[in-house]
Amino acid sequence: MSTTHPVPLDAAVLLLIALLTAIPRLVLVLALAAVQPPSAPMLLITLALIYWPSTAQLARAEMQRIRQLPYMEAARALGLRDWQLILRHALPAVWKVVGAALPLSVATLIGLETTLSFLGVGLPPQTASWGRTLASARQEPTAWWLIVMPGTVLVCTMLALRQLALTSIKKEKRGE
C-alpha cells in the first residue's frame, strides 16, 4: 500500500521567492547578463525571471484574501469544484490587482534595462537604448543634450506609467 505525501508547493514557492528577493535585482541581473551573450530576447527573459517574485507575492496575498470572502464559501457550499472557483471567481479578482501593479512593474523594468545599458551590459551595442545614449555622454561631456533628452523622455515615461497605475487603482476602488 503506497502512501501519498502532499507536496508543500506553497512553502516551496515562498522559499524560492525569499531566496530571489534576498539578492538585489541589479546584482542578480548583472551576474546573469555577464554569463550570456548580449541579446534583446535573453535580456527580456532574464528580466522576467528576476521580476516575477514581486508579482507572485502580490497574487498570493490577494488569493489569500479572496479565499476568505463569503461568496467563495457560498460557492464551495453549492458544490463548485476548486478549479471552477479559481477560474470563475479568484483569477478575475487577482487579475485586477496584478493588472493595477503592471504599469509600475514595467516602469521598474525599463529603469533596470536603462541601468544595464548604461553599464554596457544586456543589449547588444548596435541596439539603441536610453541607457546607452546616457552613457555616450561620458565621451562628450559638453554634449548636454545627450543627458537631457533621454533623461527627460525616461522620466516622462516613468511618470506616465505611474499615472496609469494610479488611474487603474482609482478605477478599481470605484468598482469599475
Indicate the pTM of the whole model: 0.79
Portion of the chain with pLDDT greater than 70, in percent: 95
HSE at residue 135, side-chain half, CA atoms within 13 A, is 15
The span from the CA of 50 to the CA of 28, in Å, is 8
C-alpha cell at 124: 547588444
* Residue of 174 and 161 predicted with greater confidence: 161
For residue range 100-147, what is the model confidence (pLDDT) as tens digits?
889 989 999 999 989 988 888 878 888 888 888 888 888 888 888 888
Q: How far is CA 22 from CA 16, 44, 105, in A?
A: 10, 21, 18
The span from the CA of 75 to the CA of 39, in Å, is 48
| Least reliable range by pLDDT among 53-57, 72-76, 97-101, 169-173 | 169-173
User: Where are the domains positioned within the chain?
Assistant: 11-174
What CATH homologous superfamily does 11-174 map to? Answer: MetI-like (1.10.3720.10)
